[in-house]
Structure 1
Amino acid sequence: MAIPRIPSYNIPETFPDNRVAWQASRDRAVLLVHDMQDYFLDFYDRDSKPVPQLQANIRSLIDLAHSLEIPVVYTAQLPEQNVQERGLLQDMWGPGLTAQPQGKSIVAALAPETQDTVLDKWRYSAFQKSTLEKMMREDGRDQLIICGIYAHIGCMMTACDAFMRDIQAFMVADAVADFSTEEHAMALRYVAQRCGAVTTTEALLAVLQPASSHNHVPLSQDELKTTIAGLLQVPAAELQPDDNLLDWGLDSIRIMSLLESWRKTGLDLSFMRLAEQPTLAAWWSILDPDPAHS
């Protein structure tokens, strides 16, 4: 009746074709971090696949959302639930967090920040008994980017529920995890063919990052960090202000790509100026030399 111990597995490497051609927009989207609580993650070996990749990709999505001012919403089940409040979840999964209240916290690596919203989670869908739809409507947003666990349960049901509410759902294939490769793949197929769109972390970074898709100078050091992390395909949280970006693998071709993008906005920059000081802190001082913005 309880959640089973989940063996290590590989996230599917091929993804289903989408029936729709939706494209995520920074002005329309909300990022949902679904049920990433210690209780649910403890059914995995956290050092084995797919957990490290899951957490790294979710971290990249959160960092991107923060830099672009995309709202970030978390769901988290409450440990204080009586039998009536749990309803049929009690029959299907037992007492859950009620029996292990020490597991209620969002995993530390993905902990919400002050500007984020944490919603109480009562049923599979994040919309049930919550203010998620109301929040989205009030903010003029009609797209939901879904990451977290478990793909074939709450993540898939939330995507289906979003479809019923005329909200475009995007399930991030390599930023969700499940009980097995087979159930993970099943969830992706269902969403892609019946109620939403399946995408990847890398694809979202490419679509949403203004520096990669538009000629746009980052508006903050966090946005600069997210842009560089996207180019390097590493979690933005791992990049530190004084790290040598060349040591992370940022080559001259990528630097030239960024340089040309920024030059097209009218910024007067040289390759040598960037290459001589290849750190986030130095580049941000060049892009925005006003100390008040540091």
Structure 2
Amino acid sequence: MTIPSLPTYTMPAAEAFPANKVEWAFAPEKAAFLIHDMQEYFVSFYERDSALMQTLLSNLVALKRFCKANGIPVIYTAQPKEQNMADRALLNDMWGPGLNKSPELQQVVEALAPEAGDTVLDKWRYSAFQRSPLEHMLKELGRDQLLIGGIYGHIGCLMTAVDAFMRDIKPFMVGDAIADFSLEEHEMALRYVAGRAGMVVSTAALIGEPQQPQLIDDQQDDLPAVLTRSGLLARIAGLVEEDVNEFDPDENLVDYGLDSVQIMSLITEWRKHGIVLNFVQLAEEPTFNHWWALLAEALQNTPALAPQRGQKEAVA
């Protein structure tokens, strides 16, 4: 038996998370970030362009960037592409041969590809601690808090959180940075961690309020191009290889050929400038005019990013 095709569902929002039994203070200098099993093979059972997957990827990318900026080690689990029967043992009975049938899908998804300084651990069992040096690594680094994101929530992510707890490592499961077989199993994993083994937190709570960009050379009316109407229009027209003068701002951007990776890159760039929009908001109406309306509203609600130039373009 292999993993079934997985249905999409709406990523739980922070306000729907279960109440935590403990109140541990998150300390970046004591934490490490585990990106759990985000390999092409496991992701392939979802609809890649679904709002669930895009929200998951967007949040994991944002968390990784936050960790890099704050000196938090980033650790991956990834199953090897060649596993003999003895190594898999009972996993064969439960899930079949796994990656042995699809070794070409062993790599971590491109948006989260490991970088220099990251650690990739071979994954052999549900818990990332089993048959791995993870506990030793954390002790060597002086880290006793573990952020957990990835897939699947009620299997490896949950077992890793419980195992961390039993090793006196405080697990912080990022409730909107995991995905699961179903909403019910996702929520079950959150309830168990919140009540028995750790804390459930949101991406936004960890990252905090977006920092306002520093304006340099006193040129406070110069917004980055991606935050202006004309600059964003030129960027998107270029991505879909259309002449900006012939580009229809009310046309569906997906029909133009804009793909999910390009959309994520825009979300990521906006976030760097202090503007937080998500894939779900953009997917509701994927037209340039709708996206600009969302961006303009966000600019107006961010005083340091709403100079006269931006205000004029917002009504253009």
**1:108 positional shift:** 0.4
Give, in whole Å, the separation in 2 of the partners of 1:275 and 1:72.
37
Q: Choose the corresponding residue for 1:45, options 40, 44, 47.
A: 47
Specify the alignment match of 1:17 in structure 2.
19
From the superposition, tell whether residues 138 and 103 of structure 1 become closer, same or farther in structure 2 (CA, over 3 Å).
same
Give unmatched runs, 5+ long, in structure 1: 218-224, 236-245, 257-270, 279-294
CA contact (8 A) 2:128 2:134 kept: yes
**1:249 positional shift:** 5.8
**1:254 positional shift:** 3.6
Give, in whole Å, the separation in 2 of the partners of 1:166 and 1:46.
36
Question: SS of 1:50's equivalent?
Answer: helix
Corresponding letter in the other structure for 2:201: T
**1:24 positional shift:** 1.4
Corresponding letter in the other structure for 2:148: I
**1:128-207 equivalence runs, <5 A:** 128-206=130-208
Corresponding letter in the other structure for 2:144: D
Question: SS of 2:78's equivalent?
Answer: strand
Corresponding letter in the other structure for 2:83: Q
Give, in whole Å, the separation in 1 of the partners of 2:64 and 2:181.
24
From the superposition, tell whether residues 33 and 249 of structure 1 become closer, same or farther in structure 2 (CA, over 3 Å).
farther
CA contact (8 A) 1:29 1:71 kept: yes
Q: Choose the corresponding residue for 2:87, options 59, 62, 85.
A: 85
Give, in whole Å, the separation in 1 of the partners of 2:10 and 2:300.
33
Give unmatched runs, 5+ long, in structure 2: 215-267, 279-293, 311-316
Q: Choose the corresponding residue for 1:233, options 265, 276, 282.
A: 276
Specify the alignment match of 1:67 in structure 2.
69
- What's the Cα RMSD here? 2.7
Question: SS of 1:69's equivalent?
Answer: coil
Question: SS of 2:22's equivalent?
Answer: coil
Give, in whole Å, the separation in 2 of the partners of 1:173 and 1:204.
11
Specify the alignment match of 1:260 in structure 2.
none
Specify the alignment match of 2:104 in structure 1.
102
From the superposition, tell whether residues 277 and 86 of structure 1 become closer, same or farther in structure 2 (CA, over 3 Å).
farther
From the superposition, tell whether residues 227 and 170 of structure 1 become closer, same or farther in structure 2 (CA, over 3 Å).
farther
From the superposition, tell whether residues 28 and 8 of structure 1 become closer, same or farther in structure 2 (CA, over 3 Å).
same
User: Sequence identity, in percent?
Assistant: 51
Give, in whole Å, the separation in 2 of the partners of 1:230 and 1:121.
36
Question: SS of 1:189's equivalent?
Answer: helix
Report which of the two structures shows the higher radius of gyration computed on alpha carbons. 2
Give, in whole Å, the separation in 1 of the partners of 2:277 and 2:85.
43
**Given the alignment of the two structures, is residue 125 of structure 1 paired with residue 111 of structure 2, yes or no?**
no
**1:57 positional shift:** 0.3
Give, in whole Å, the separation in 1 of the partners of 2:99 and 2:61.
24
Question: SS of 1:27's equivalent?
Answer: helix
Q: Deviations over 1:1-35 (max 9, x none)?
A: 11011011112331100000012111011000000
Q: Deviations over 1:116-140 (max 9, x none)?
A: 1110000000111111111110111
Give, in whole Å, the separation in 1 of the partners of 2:48 and 2:185.
19
Moved >6 Å (runs of 4+)? none
Give, in whole Å, the separation in 2 of the partners of 1:40 and 1:27.
31
After TM superposition, the score normalised by the length of structure 2 is 0.70
CA contact (8 A) 1:205 1:230 kept: no
Question: SS of 1:115's equivalent?
Answer: coil
Corresponding letter in the other structure for 2:35: V
CA contact (8 A) 1:67 1:226 kept: no
From the superposition, tell whether residues 277 and 58 of structure 1 become closer, same or farther in structure 2 (CA, over 3 Å).
farther
Q: Deviations over 1:21-65 (max 9, x none)?
A: 012111011000000000000000111131010000000000100
Give, in whole Å, the separation in 2 of the partners of 1:63 and 1:196.
23
Q: Deviations over 1:265-292 (max 9, x none)?
A: xxxxxx9xx95899xxxxxxxxxxxxxx
Corresponding letter in the other structure for 1:11: M
From the superposition, tell whether residues 64 and 226 of structure 1 become closer, same or farther in structure 2 (CA, over 3 Å).
farther
Q: Deviations over 1:189-218 (max 9, x none)?
A: 0000010100110111118x8x69xxxx9x
From the superposition, tell whether residues 145 and 255 of structure 1 become closer, same or farther in structure 2 (CA, over 3 Å).
same
Give, in whole Å, the separation in 1 of the partners of 2:269 and 2:47.
28
CA contact (8 A) 1:63 1:226 kept: no
Give, in whole Å, the separation in 1 of the partners of 2:269 and 2:25.
20
Specify the alignment match of 1:34 in structure 2.
36
